[in-house]
Amino acid sequence: MHRSGASRIAERQLRDTPVPVGIVCNGGPRHAPSEFEPFLVVSGPAPGPQREPPSRRLPGVALRADPNRPAEKFSCLLRNRRFAATWERRRDDLQDRSPSGYDLSLASQAVTVGWADQEIVDLLIAFRGPS
């Protein structure tokens, strides 16, 4: 079914009309740009000595083949519809539905409720692992 030219024009006008926006949550973590420098990927051969793997640059975080996802925290998060839909890969509202888009959504939701770095890493490994 084709939309009429008038409805497409009206839709474009609505889309191009500025709308007031407010900040809903401003309590997230803050980082200085210099904190990300150790994680920059340089294309081509790396100058100087080889960089350490990411797991060695994040003290106290290990990449484990058998992740230890915190069962109680996980079951609490699964009660949230958005988290459950993300975990089950059923998010129609995600602009990026690639595996990394789902990873970002899961990690963001876990950070919001106070999960530790290791718990989030384990969550993502479990999410990417065999079902």
- Cβ atoms of 91 and 102 within 8 Å: the answer is yes
Q: Which amino acid appears at position 15 of this protein?
A: R
Give me the residue spans of the domains in the chain: 79-131
Q: What is the pLDDT of residues 8-58, one digit of tens each?
A: 666 766 777 777 877 776 666 777 878 888 888 777 665 666 655 555 566
Q: How many CA atoms lie within 13 A of 23 on its CB side?
A: 4
Alpha-carbon torsion, ordered 115, 119, 122, 123, to 10 deg: -20
Query: The pTM is what?
Result: 0.56
pLDDT digits (tens, 9 = 90+) for 73-104: 999 999 999 999 999 999 999 999 999 999 99
Determine the Cα–Cα distance for residues 22 and 96; give it in Å rounded to an integer: 24
